A and B are shown apart, each in its own frame.
Chain A
Amino acid sequence: MVSDDVVPGFQDVQRYLAARGWRSSLSKRPNLAIWRSSDEAEEVLVPLSRAFADYASTMRTVATRVAAHEQRSTEAVLRDLVQLQTDTLRIGLVGEGSRGGTAPLSAGVELLEAVRAALLASACFVKRPQRSYPRMSFGEALEFVQACRLGQTEVGSFVLSVATPLVVASADPRLTPHFGRLATEAFMRSSRLLAQAVRAGAEARLVDPASEVLVSANFARALVDMAPRDESADLRLSATWSPLVVSDADASSLLIERELFEGLERVADQLRPQTPVHPTRVIAVVSELRGVANEQGALEGEVVLTSLLKGGPRRLRVSLAAADYRLAGQAHLAQQVVSVCGRVVRHGRTVELVEPERLVIEDLVEPDDL
């Protein structure tokens, strides 16, 4: 639904009409333009100033008449008019658990983060198509993601709506005048390629280094991370294109059934560069203690850490022997920071620190002590 308060700008309305082949002439009355459809069947009066007392109702009439001409709903036309400079991506969880239009908060946060990563990977792909991006730090790509806007959620199943800009200021307009459009198309295209390959059992086509079909490992991982937590839910992706630029996308809607995600996970793992994982030192707080008593009665086992590494907080699991588990317990109670060495390995959504060693409670200096 588009709120009654949402009133399109007259410049956007004129761009929209021009892009659809309508022709304009000026009225004898000041600040009014008359636009006629190419078949001359419809005509609208567009105020060229917001100073008109009936600006909002006149624009609604414009939307109603254009909608009738295009045989669409007024709401759909209004939405296009107020978001003219953007495409709209919709990421929906389709299943019993989200039928009421809601999703668990933590699942929503994870989905948002995955969508953000997928958009960034798509934009990197437009900048330079390659199999993997170690850092995803192209300026244009970061600017594109920065300019994306989270829209209103929509009625039905849980649907995230993201308005993606057509244009990115830092992109070279001669090479990619609509960098944002290309990134959004890459999002949909990569999703379709991945889903099609898994559905057809043709995963090798994507992971073969010599393949002409290229999807980045980063995008594949992000798509896997969009997997609904609800085991009965599917993922639906769709895009609505701004009428300002004709889209080359061959599909604007895609359903990724739940059962495809296992295959997508395999593809994502195989696309990932097979570089050796070196031990690293992780600084973290101890978030959860999930250990159990061993034969000697000492607690040991899984601990959840929240790392404080670059990129923001990240949860990772680590399995600790009794001595280290005891230290972790002390740190947890005293809310102290620990450091531990190990190799960071990812299994789907889960990040694990394997072969942990040298866990110590860090004696950090509090700002108040300085």
Chain B
Amino acid sequence: MYHINNIRVYEEVGLMKGMANIQWQFGYNSAYLAFASVFSFGWLFKNPLHTTTGFLELVFGWWAIAGLLDFRSHRHHFGDAGRLSILIYILNILVRSMSPATDFGALLFAAFVIADWMSIHECSNSAAIENAADAEQQDPVLKMAFLSVLSTFVLTLKVSAALLVLAALVPGIRLLRKKEWKKVLAFLGMGIVIVLPFLIRNYYISGWLIYPFTGINLFHVDWKVPASIAEHDAAQIKTWGRGLNDAARIDTPMREWIPVWWDSLQYYEKTLMKADLMSMVILLWQFLRAKRRKKPLPFVQLSMLLVILLSMTFWFIEASFIRYGLVFLLYPPAAALFLLLDQRGWDVSTVFCGLLAGWMIFFVTPFLDNYFEDATTFAHAHFMENEYLIFQKEYPTQKTIPLQVGKFTVQAPDWPYDYNNYSTFPSTSYDFEALMCTSRGETLRDGFRNVEVGQ
């Protein structure tokens, strides 16, 4: 829970210059924590609320279920696959709904972008389905453009989902072809308005445009996190994701780290990966089959499928923790399954894909079973606990030790803990990171700098 204290920083002072120096992870600067801090009410209540992840689960889960109830009226089921993956993702994080972890919010928004995009042109024109037909009347290019704007928001929530922004090329090119300059400028403007505060905060928090990416080195300020630390942090993310657990092994070749990464996965995660590979085969097969029959798959959906594949590749190379890319991993099996259900007329290839899909479902089952069991066990154990009927369970608090960092006392968790607290401010998860710093001025907003920089 290294994020918690960032919510407290948002509430107390907004930001501290160079705060990424006292805890490097502050540099990631997820916008999700801004959302969480607005509805935390730490300034009002003794125990701050942490309900935003649950709220997003409720909203997107509701949307997904409502869409799936209209399943029969859909001309194609790419959108339904997205809705199903939203529901599976919610099942996956259900027992951690109270956590303001940044990847939950980011991936829920990413899943919504994918599912809503995939649902374009899905409704039949049946007059009986007023609401669906109403949605169908929306201009698909404008809808894609708005979802592209939302994907820039996802980028500010979690940079590992950044490639979703590539989807913006589809509506962008279409609007440019139609020479609708005003609309292009309006959407660009919206994207800039969304990304700008993220970049400005990055500048103040870490001195980098995007931390820990050191490829863009624009600023030379005294609170800047040293490049060596940023590179080390980036290497840590990669190597921990790959199961190597040692930043020094960043240059390990792919053929060597893939077996290590595979061994580090849980059984049900391995089966999910196998299901993903099978779904790729089915999707490719169906794509070629549709092309041969001169009934190609819809371009809008194909473009998003391509973005999902690119996002999966980016996730695999950059930060291959299953939980960081789960939404991208859940979509292909669901899409392959629904694509097969759409098949009219059976031939040898359909039967082959059907068998493969059956095998794929068999592989997804342990993943679903694991989290379903988690969720039901949790519900059985805690549902209607008298202790929490009125108030929410408060944030956990670790024992801390005070560290003198320049003019300020920074709290750090006492060994063996490495969690940050909400209740202590300012504080860090790692004492050695804070001990490399000193204060920059008289107030906390003046922040911290690394002792080796800006002397």
Q: Answer yes or no: do A and B interact.
A: no
Q: Could you list which residues of chain A lie within 8 angstroms of chain B, going by C-beta atoms?
A: none
